[in-house]
Amino acid sequence: MSGDSSVRASETSAYAAATSFAILTLSFFFVLIHLYAGIYGSPDSLFFRSLHVNIALVVVFLAWPLGGESQRPWQRAIDLLWVAGALWVQLYFAMEIETWYMRTIVFRPIDYFTSILFIFLILEATRRTVGMILVVICLVFLCHALFSNHFPGIFYGPPSSLKNLLQGVFLDSNGIFGVAVAVMANFVVLFILFGTLLNACGGGQFFTRLAFALFGHRVGGPAKAAVVSSAMMGSLSGSAIGNVLTTGAFTIPLMIRLGYKRAFAAGVEAAASNGGIIMPPVMGAVAFIMAEFLDRPYVEIIFAALIPALLYFLVIFVTVHAEARKNGLATMPRDRLPRAWALLKREGYLLFPVLLIVIALIMGYSIVFVAVLVTAGTFAIAVIQPRNRLRPLLIPDIVDETVRATVSLSVTAAAAGVILGAIFAVGLSFQVAQAAAETSQGYLWVLLLLTALMSIIMGLGMTAPAIYLTLVATIIPILITAGVPPIAAHFFAFYYGNLSGITPPVALTAYAAAPIARTGPLGVGVQASRLGAASFILPILFIYEPGLLLVGDPLTIARVAITSALGLIAFSVSVTGYAFAPMPVWQRIGGAFVCFLAIVPELWSDLAGIVVGLIVFGSNFMSQTAAPRSASKAPETEEDEPRVAWLSAISRSVESRVRREDTVPEAPGTRETDVEALLAQVIDDADSKTVTKPTPAELWWGWGVFTVAGLLFAAQGHIFLHARAPIWWACAQFGLAVVLALATVFGRHMLAGHKHTDMQEDGRSRA
């Protein structure tokens, strides 16, 4: 028996090693083809997009194995079967590259087989990375397209034939290879590579330290630092959950240490991290996709998104300030915090890539050029900087992390293409839009309430790109048909869909933050929703006050921004029940009324809101007391949370979804966090940092290999291999990826041997 066990263990170890090497090779391949396309241009667009999607599928089937870590042989065989299926689909595209568009006329049995297989592989990869919600939505729309004559009410219509449906999903520009996949393939991968590089050279820790330096010593310091650091990190990150698990790992324990209730501390981080998805310039990759759907320059989208995002974080910032004043929470000791100016002088160069993005976009450069430029600039910083210099053998880790973060977005974009293709096959979006307009009976506010609720429901349990792409196909056409300006319709639906991340019971960011605070996710979701209560009103302003999206003259934009900020803050502190002092009922009602007056798009209502606000908050200011309430320590045990039987299945499902995020640390929150260690790691202002120095062998070997690879890479671009022979170009890129993967394995083995020799010599010298 022991012999059989050792054999099985040996086979498992060999399979794991082979899988790791395959993932590393595919990761290099994935990054190389996108870097090449950004610098020299891409081959045939369909071939390039198919290569993008199929590499993503193979990586998903290997990196997210069926059965997880305890995978059985039959599950391993299924994974390999799906890998073979994805390879076949790519081979099919390579064979059909010259006659692809003939498939709209002649659809052969092999075309039926390949298109059905491709859709199945996309849905399976989506299930593994995003969850069953998006898969069910895809299946519902596919079934509706085939059997729409059996659906009731507004969903009734003539069905599509299987051939027309597959052609719409597989061939049409609104299908799998539509806008979403095109955007992912053209420049989103490069921006994710940029974010990973910036984080590898200390960008994430710098943002956190800077936020604590600016706000840690003030009232509600850790909570304010959480808001600011999440805004800075979220502007570059594509994952709200990843944002929680990076900044929240530091901010949540510190808030609890200073007297914040556990659910509130986690709720602050959840609400702030969820807002990171709406902060330019990246917006979780949604900004790029939205620019394509609206057919507007990317720079217009991010500038339109700026004021609403700032309002979102301003409201949360004011809310945590009021909460800290209300409960008399302690501040952080000033002498334990870094000095902001000293930190900027020492590490301010980490802000250069962000400034480079803004400057290049304002100067009118294309988004692809900006992506290449900022990636190259960040790489140069990573290599040159003295404090956290990039080592060559860390580059494969950066490549691997980039690809793992990207492939889930890629399969999501492909799944959204399945939805769009099915909808356009039967014209469902037009039918639903007309029916919704009739249901609202001309009352825009009724339509807005209906679509807001539908957006939140359809966004439950999904990532930002999946939310937006689903709403593009379903909710946004309803608003546009009702006469809402397209840019306002897109932002309105996306904001409400994104709010599903903090809306119980399925609130992904709350489920990510709860284990760090050692409390229940339902309570965290309630606190996050309360903190972001004003953000449930903010999207309505896009419709009635389009100046928030930079529509109108500068004076109107300034007036709308100021009055909206005042109204949202008034509503937020009214919900909290504390402004300058505790607010009695009449003042809280008055604050809510101020918010209502700010929403009404009339000058008289803005003036009336200012007058009412002066009365309400002026009287509250006069009643403030000099002695704040004393700080209290957080309870040592987990807070009680209301338990509802029917929520248990939802909780298990969402917790499983959060665990699938590759950024989740091992067993978060299972033991009490060492707060002093966090202070020493993140907050203490040390002038020097211990950095592991690479050996000369690692430097010569690593940079030598990457230099040779770079020369070969440039040679392919010099002869325009991608345009002359796209298939041979793909083979050449794959061969280069294999060489880099082998060089990485050899370099790490060599480095491990050097370390072992050094340890032996050190032991002999001590003896």
Q: Alpha carbon of 369 to those of 183, 545, 601: distances in Å?
A: 14, 34, 40
E strand intervals along 680-721: none
Give CA 23 to chain center in angstroms: 22
299 neighbors 363 (Cβ within 8 angstroms): no
pLDDT at 83: 95
Question: Cβ neighbours of residue 692 under 8 Å, at least 6 residues apart?
Answer: 391
Report helix, strand and coil shares of the chain as percent, to nearest 5.
75, 0, 25
What pLDDT does 694 receive? 67
Question: Are 327 and 581 within 8 A, CB to CB?
Answer: no
Angle 424-175-437 from CA coordinates, rounded to 5°? 30
AA identity, residue 414: A
Answer for the pair 628, 609: CB distance below 8 angstroms, yes or no. no
CB 241 within 8 A of CB 512: yes
| Residue 433 near residue 481 (C-beta atoms within 8 A) | yes
Q: What tokens appear for 375 in the block?
A: 């990636």
Question: Is residue 499 within 8 Å of 459, Cβ to Cβ?
Answer: yes
C-beta separation of 216 from 683 below 8 A: yes
Per-residue DSSP letter, 350? G
Question: What is the number of other CB atoms lying within 10 angstroms of the CB of residue 482?
Answer: 19
Cβ-based neighbours of 672, under 8 Å, separated by 6 or more: 518
Q: Would you state the pLDDT for residue 662?
A: 40
Distance from chain centroid for Cα 737: 27
Contacts of 401 (CB under 8 A, 6+ apart): 196
Side-chain half-sphere exposure of 722, counting CA atoms within 13 A: 23
- Which are the contacts of 642, defined by CB distance < 8 A and separation ≥ 6? 522, 523
725/739 Cα distance (integer angstroms): 21
CA distance 145 to 162: 9
User: Phi first, then psi: what are they for 582, rounded to 5°?
Assistant: -55, 140
CA 587 vs. chain centroid, Å, equals 38
Q: Write down the pLDDT at residue 503.
A: 83
> Which residues, in sequence order, are CB contacts of 212 under 8 Å at separation 6+?
221, 222, 225, 229, 332, 337, 338, 682, 683
What is the mean pLDDT, run by run of 10 residues, along the chain of 767 residues?
Answer: 55 81 95 93 88 95 86 89 95 84 80 93 91 87 90 83 89 83 86 85 80 80 81 70 77 80 87 85 81 88 91 88 80 76 84 84 82 88 81 88 88 88 82 72 82 84 80 86 89 90 79 83 85 83 88 88 88 86 89 84 82 88 60 42 48 54 40 56 52 70 85 88 88 93 84 54 49
pLDDT at 481: 83
Report helix, strand or coil for 578: strand
* CB burial readout 398-414, b (16+ within 10 A) else e: bbbbbbbbbbbbbbbbb
Sign of CA dihedral 259, 261, 262, 264: negative
Alpha helices (H) along 276-351: 286-294, 298-327, 340-347
The model's pLDDT over 109-154, given as tens digits with 9 standing for 90+, comes to 898 999 999 999 999 999 998 888 889 989 999 999 999 888 887 7
Structure tokens at 738: 């294999």
Its pTM surpasses 0.85 = no
pLDDT at 728: 92
Q: Number of helices (H) and strands (E) in the chain: give both, helices first.
A: 34, 0
Burial (0-12, 13-18, 19+ Cβ within 10 Å), 594: buried
pLDDT in the model for residue 292: 86
Q: Taking the chain, what is the end-to-end CA distance rounded to the nearest angstrom? A: 43
Domain boundaries defined on the chain: 1-40+695-767, 43-129, 182-551, 552-623
Check: CB of residue 450 under 8 Å from CB of residue 436.
yes
Could you please report the per-residue DSSP string of 527-569?
HHHHHTGGGGTHHHHHHH-GGGGT-S-HHHHHHHHHHHHHHHH
The angle that helices 240-257 and 508-517 make with each other, rounded to 10 degrees, is: 30
- The CA distance from 179 to 288, in Å, is 10
